[in-house]
Structure 1
Amino acid sequence: MGARTRAWTSRPVSKQHRPVKRGRWHPITAIQRPVQAQPLRTRLAVMITVLLALGLVIISFVVSLVLRDQMLGQIDDQLRSTAEVFGNQAIRGPGVESLPSTYYVETKRENGQDDGPWIDPRTAADYGTPRLGDALDFETTLAHEGRPQLVTVESEQPARQWRVIIMLLSDDNTGEYVGVAAIALPLKDVTSTLERTNLVVLFSDIIIIFLGTLTATYLVRRSFRSLRQIEGVAGRIAQGDLSARILVTEPPTTEVGSLQRALNTMLSQNEHAFSVQVVAQERMTRFISDASHELRTPLAAIRGYGELYRMGGVSPEKTSEVMGRIEDESNRMGRLVDDLLQLARMDEGRQMDMTEVDLTGLASAALSDMAVLAPNRDCALVPLDPEAEAAGKDAPSVTVVGDKDRLSQVLTNLLGNVVRHTPDGTPVEIAVGTGPASRVGTDTTDHQVAVVEVRDHGGGVPPDEAEKVFQRFYRSDSSRNRETGGSGLGLSIVLGIVERHRGTVQMLQTPGGGATVHIELPLPAAAT
């Protein structure tokens, strides 16, 4: 049985049955927890009230002590002056009629004989007589080297006190001390005055503390009105209202005013960042959807031709045609992937090789390439100024700071669009020059910008689609469709490159019919 008991007790205790260690109770912590649970305005009002009450108690205590010392000092001065006048007279036995009405006088000679006491009966009836006890002792008084001693003693009547001066009596002939005398005055008037004063001070303190509490509560709540407004705005923002702003009610030199302005700035930045994030997310979702849709068509064509060939549905004489279609769709898909990759790189903000670029030379080279690819079209490089063009002058040399390859791609894409979306034989020209900025917000120094216009004389772009053509994967129903071989990304790439050069691009109408792509770029003086 003992072995079984030992084996049973040696088993480890389950975690569920282990004693829970609890924190030790501490009085300060127990007080702090409910205090910290109160609102800050309540704690401030309570702290102001406590400090006010503490200050009033200290002031009242000091005033009571000062008043008591002052009144006792007056009584002591009165007793000293009386002792000088009546001291020797007391040893000869003063009559009751010669004493002031509130005085008490008693003497005790060296031989132990007591004289007195002398006191007015009415005084004795009102204040009683002092209990001198051992205070009126010749040897004790003599031990103080003859200095008068001022003491406070109790009265025979309850709650009464006397202020007593104990002094030695000397013989006029020999100058030796022959006894001791006690002269006393009642302290009832002093005590009554102190009690009334303390009562008045107490009621005054209560009224001041009450009014101070109300005033402190009102002022604290008034001071926290702006913070409560901030709390309300924060609640609205937490519920999804990102446009909520704090009403600025305090000057910027105050803490609350500075906080209001800082929070409004932060809220504006957060709203802008959130809006940008939402737009970017929607744009990315739409971009992925459009890219998937665009890639699905060539992939489906390649898969279909492949399955047709694998199943033996392609005759030998059709094999080259099928392979050619597969190659065309592959090339188309490759161009689409290249365009997507370039757009992604521009979105990432990759650095470009910024050098001085001759726009006139780039336009001339682009037109030369187009003359080879489309020999049936009239290509011309003309000045931007209509008068110079009418006079037959050459396009001026215009230099900007930019990436030569990217700017060349802009012209190549625009000319490619002209070839794909206008009838054969339609003329095209590129106008180069400088002029004033036509759009607000163009990053220029003196409002002079470099201008490049690619003009065609085809069907043009409807005004309601002039802004949409620069969107990714956008196609016009009338001409910009998949049959022309476009991906819908060419003008998006143009817009991205121009914006990276801090420029602007617009789709305008060519006089007489057609579309004009108007590009503005900063001149070298404004470029960085």
Structure 2
Amino acid sequence: MPPSRRRGRFHPIIESKRYWHSQPLRTRLALITTGLLTVGLLATSLVTTQLLQTHLIGQVDNQLKVTSRTIGDRGLEYLQQDGRSSQAPTTYYLEAQYSSGKIGRMVNDKTTAEYGIPSLGTLSLDNGEPFTVPSSLPGHYWRVLPLEIKDQDGDYAGIVAIALPLRNVRDTVEQTRVVVAVTDVVVVLVGAALATYLVHRSFGPLRQIEGVAGRISRGDLSARVPVTEPPMTEVGSLQQALNTMLQQNEHAFSVQVTAQVRMTRFVSDASHELRTPLSAIQGYGELYRMGGVPAERTSEVMGRIESEATRMGRLVEDLLQLARMDEGRKMDTAPVDLTAVCAGALTDMVVLAPERDCALLRLDGGPEAPQPLTVMGDRDRLAQVVTNLLGNVVRHTPAGTPVEIALGPIGGRSAIIEVRDHGPGIAPADASKVFQRFYRADTSRNRETGGSGLGLSIVAAIVQRHHGTIGITPTPGGGATVRIELPLAQPEQAPAPAGDGPRAGRRG
């Protein structure tokens, strides 16, 4: 067969499949439900009518068997005469075929006119069970029961057949089929309408999901699917899963937007901070190249250039450190004794600012020296946190202002570090912003007074990497207190070796 003819043969099937799959799911479900209902009703109708027909024929067979017992030998005497007799039952037909070749019949004339006579042919007993034969009138049938005839000596004499017409059975079955067929059509039509309505109604939550998707496509990321079904159902589970996904997407988009805004601001602030020392270096360089610097001021100009380069180097180093922490680079994690770290930082401050009173205290106010507090973290980074905080105190408080570091456990799970100063303090409006990058309460943007605004942001980033929290509260009596909370190490973890032991008391 040519390929074109083979393709042409299957073309309608392919087209029907395409048409079927192009229909909406709710239409297909309604059609499938209607089809299953139709098939089920047809099968039920066929089985029911068949059982009814079998039952009615069984009743006719029982009637024939009962009648055969009541006829007896007396009834057979009338069959020995060839002809008909009105003494036979009204709807019965009896025919005797003798072994001698004689045939006798008994039937009512009205029965013959209405039902005809059965086409028996030559009778045989076979298994002696009733059987169906056609009638002399087209479309009619008889149910026949053959019986053996015996003579007076008990010998075989022939076969007698007792028959009843099956038209009543046929009419009853046909009427039943019509009624069942009409009922099936009505049930299928009503079922199709109900299936269409219920399927469309069941798809209501999916249309809500479609509407929410349209709102999201128009930029409304806060849109959520109304949860109208129990969570254990398929639709309810889908609604909750979509809401969870939409919430995560909204959060991710919000984080992305925030990061983008933050990056834009970061780049802008970093450019602003770098522009000042670069402009100073460029200006001094051009002045020196043009010969505008007297010989006696050369060392001063070179010192200014070196100072601005150093300032720019510190700024770049701070930016690189923040960038590394944003990338989530792995830290050298080990058990660290916070008490030893704070004691070492205070020792360094005594050297840098000998005019200040420095003390290492217990958080609960006890007179004893603070006990070792072990946390899991990077020792160098934690030391930088304390050093940056102390440097911030030196920069923003008057000379001679005392400073204390209080340590202690809380709740058996966390270690608390409080760096307290007794200077002018921080305004409540600035306390919530000082950990932002490039934020400075000093609006003069002077390096000597306000710094670059990265010191506390580096502190906050390091604390966050150690799964801790940080905040600023007023110091009783005046000043500011930076409070850091870090998770304590597990009891089986030993602290890292410390070069400096705990120190307590007043230093000057």
Q: TM-score, normalised by structure 2?
A: 0.83
> d(CA) in 2 for partners of 1:479 and 1:296?
16
The answer to which structure, 1 or 2, has the higher relative contact order (CA under 8 A, 6+ apart) is 2
Map of 1:403-442 to 2, 5 A cutoff? 403-423=378-398, 425-434=399-408, 436=410
- 1:374 equivalenced with 2:353 (yes/no): yes
> d(CA) in 2 for partners of 1:40 and 1:229?
16
Deviation (angstroms), 1:489: 0.5
CA contact (8 A) 2:463 2:470 kept: yes
> d(CA) in 1 for partners of 2:96 and 2:371?
132
- 1:126 equivalenced with 2:114 (yes/no): yes
> d(CA) in 2 for partners of 1:367 and 1:174?
138
The residue aligned with 1:4 is none
Map of 1:167-186 to 2, 5 A cutoff? 171-172=151-152, 175-177=155-157, 182-186=161-165
Structure 1 pair 484/387, CA: closer, same or farther in 2 (3 Å)?
closer
Structure 1 pair 145/295, CA: closer, same or farther in 2 (3 Å)?
closer
> d(CA) in 2 for partners of 1:23 and 1:336?
78
Match of 1:495 among 440, 452, 460: 460
> d(CA) in 2 for partners of 1:387 and 1:112?
137
Aligned partner letter, 2:216: I
> d(CA) in 1 for partners of 2:446 and 2:16?
78
Aligned partner letter, 1:400: T
Structure 1 pair 216/145, CA: closer, same or farther in 2 (3 Å)?
closer
The residue aligned with 2:418 is 452
The residue aligned with 1:63 is 48
Q: Which stretch shows the higher mean deviation, 181-190 or 165-174? A: 165-174
Q: TM-score, normalised by structure 1?
A: 0.80
> d(CA) in 2 for partners of 1:26 and 1:488?
75
> d(CA) in 2 for partners of 1:506 and 1:272?
25
Deviation (angstroms), 1:493: 0.8
The residue aligned with 1:471 is 436
Map of 1:138-217 to 2, 5 A cutoff? 141=123, 150-156=131-137, 158-165=138-145, 171-172=151-152, 175-177=155-157, 182-217=161-196
Deviation (angstroms), 1:334: 1.0
1:266-299 deviations in Å (ceiling 9; x for gaps): 3333332222222222222221222222222222
CA contact (8 A) 1:421 1:479 kept: no
CA contact (8 A) 1:346 1:496 kept: yes
1:4-33 deviations in Å (ceiling 9; x for gaps): xxxxxxxxxxxxxxx9xx998444432222
Deviation (angstroms), 1:463: 1.6
Match of 2:208 among 220, 229, 240: 229
Percent identity for Structure 1 against Structure 2:
53
Deviation (angstroms), 1:243: 2.6
> d(CA) in 2 for partners of 1:507 and 1:107?
123
Match of 2:88 among 66, 87, 99: 99
Structure 1 pair 479/386, CA: closer, same or farther in 2 (3 Å)?
farther
CA contact (8 A) 1:426 1:456 kept: no
> d(CA) in 2 for partners of 1:200 and 1:41?
32
Structure 1 pair 518/77, CA: closer, same or farther in 2 (3 Å)?
closer
The residue aligned with 2:298 is 319
CA contact (8 A) 2:426 2:480 kept: yes
Deviation (angstroms), 1:462: 1.7
SS at match of 1:415: helix
CA contact (8 A) 1:146 1:168 kept: no
CA contact (8 A) 1:505 1:520 kept: yes
> d(CA) in 2 for partners of 1:324 and 1:362?
35
CA contact (8 A) 2:438 2:452 kept: yes
> d(CA) in 2 for partners of 1:147 and 1:466?
112
The residue aligned with 2:268 is 289
Map of 1:508-519 to 2, 5 A cutoff? 508-519=473-484
1:233-263 deviations in Å (ceiling 9; x for gaps): 3333333333333333333433333333333
Deviation (angstroms), 1:473: 0.7
CA contact (8 A) 2:390 2:419 kept: no
The residue aligned with 1:16 is none
> d(CA) in 2 for partners of 1:419 and 1:130?
131
- 1:37 equivalenced with 2:3 (yes/no): no
Deviation (angstroms), 1:488: 1.2
* Alignment root-mean-square deviation, CA: 3.3
Structure 1 pair 89/355, CA: closer, same or farther in 2 (3 Å)?
same
> d(CA) in 2 for partners of 1:47 and 1:88?
66
Structure 1 pair 93/188, CA: closer, same or farther in 2 (3 Å)?
same
The residue aligned with 2:505 is none
Q: Which stretch shows the higher mean deviation, 351-360 or 325-334? A: 351-360
Structure 1 pair 175/511, CA: closer, same or farther in 2 (3 Å)?
closer
CA contact (8 A) 2:435 2:457 kept: yes
The residue aligned with 1:3 is none
Deviation (angstroms), 1:68: 1.5
The residue aligned with 1:462 is 427
Deviation (angstroms), 1:354: 3.4
Match of 2:289 among 310, 316, 334: 310
1:170-219 deviations in Å (ceiling 9; x for gaps): 554583546x6554322221121111111121122222223333333344
SS at match of 1:431: strand
Deviation (angstroms), 1:471: 0.8
Aligned partner letter, 1:421: H
> d(CA) in 1 for partners of 2:363 and 2:161?
127
